Amino acid sequence: MHTRIVTITGILVFNLLFAAVASAAVVTSWGYTYNAGFTDWKMSDRWTRPSKWGKTWIDGEKAYKNLYWGDNWNGWSGISLDSGTSGIVHTNGDAAHAMSMTHSNSPTYGGSLVSGTVKAMLELRALDPYHGSEIALSTALEFAFYETPNNGLLTDDVFILTNPGVTTEGFEYGGEWYTLDFGSSYGVIPESYIEALGLDTSITYYGWLTPENADTTVDTSFTITHRPQPTPAPEPATLGLMGLGLVALGVYSRMKRNVAKRS
């Protein structure tokens, strides 16, 4: 009986330690798919109706890959998003490609885009160590668009993120925490443009500039980094294992005392 109780106790303690180690596995590589589309937009006047096509669904919401404005007489400008991408990204490694956005910037003399929302969905699945479940992260990237005068010194059109905080997000997977960061995809808007647009120069704005009479493609990318956390409290199942282990140790201790008394 002595040997049997010690064996049971050893197994319970081993299971307890194994559960703690297994729950702390850091994912070092991920498979991913990324998709995005326009879900909302605002034009400079109520008569301008954008042309949209490439319908898709992002997290259950209808979206479009292409958004153009203008007409055959006044010219066309527009934005196209790629069809989506997939690949592998490594934790604490190099940035992975997310989305390509192409702005066809032609002189337009009618109404134009003022602002819009691009909704994006990133699906991750752990490859190393392999884990069958997926995690889906969605966000809405909001931007203001400035159609600048077609002559003068500052003719580039300007995209400015109005909610840049969404470019960095934390998430939990398998008991570990990670940071998802798209921040390197966006540049700082020069102060000369901030002044010309009449914006607050004490604020740093992020986004893109796109030259007139050109197609400009902006490639966005993201990184995943592991974020160490304080040791969490044991989960209920782990507490149960610990309790069983303590009970077994207590039984063994009492039996040992009883054997000592009889001898």
CA–CA gap between residue 252 and residue 254 (Å, rounded): 6
Residue 152 pLDDT class (50, 70, 90 cuts): confident
- What does the block give as tokens for 219? 């490639």
CA 207 to chain centre: 17
119-145 residue pLDDT tens: 999 999 999 999 888 999 999 999 999
Query: At 239, phi and psi to the nearest 5?
Result: -60, -35
Coil, strand or helix: which one is 84? coil
CA–CA gap between residue 20 and residue 262 (Å, rounded): 40
200-244 residue pLDDT tens: 999 999 999 999 999 999 999 999 999 987 555 454 543 343 343
> Is the distance from CB of 123 to CB of 228 less than 8 angstroms?
no
Residue 257 has pLDDT above 70, yes or no: no
What are the CA-CA distances from residue 109 to residues 114, 147, 236 (Å)? 14, 10, 66
37-72 residue pLDDT tens: 999 999 999 888 899 999 999 999 999 999 999 888
CA 147 to chain centre: 29
Question: For the stretch 184-209, what's the b/e string if a residue is b when 16 or more beta carbons lie within 10 angstroms of its beta carbon?
Answer: ebbeebeeebbebeebeeeeebbbbb
Q: What is the mean pLDDT of the chain?
A: 83
Q: Which residue has 């960095």 as its token pair?
A: 168
Coil, strand or helix: which one is 212? coil
Q: Which pLDDT belongs to residue 248?
A: 37
Q: Compute the residue count for the chain.
A: 263
- What does the block give as tokens for 137? 């992260």
Lowest-pLDDT range of 5-9, 22-26, 168-172 = 5-9
Domain boundaries, the chain: 2-23+237-262, 29-227
What are the CA-CA distances from residue 174 to residues 87, 129, 132, 178, 253 (Å)? 21, 11, 11, 11, 37
- What does the block give as tokens for 147? 């159609």
> Is the distance from CB of 48 to CB of 75 less than 8 angstroms?
no
**Rounded percentage of the chain residues whose pLDDT exceeds 70:** 78
- Cis peptide bond prior to 236, omega within 30° of 0: no
- Cis peptide bond prior to 129, omega within 30° of 0: yes
**Residue 21 host element (H or E):** helix 2-22
Q: Which residue has 């929302």 as its token pair?
A: 117
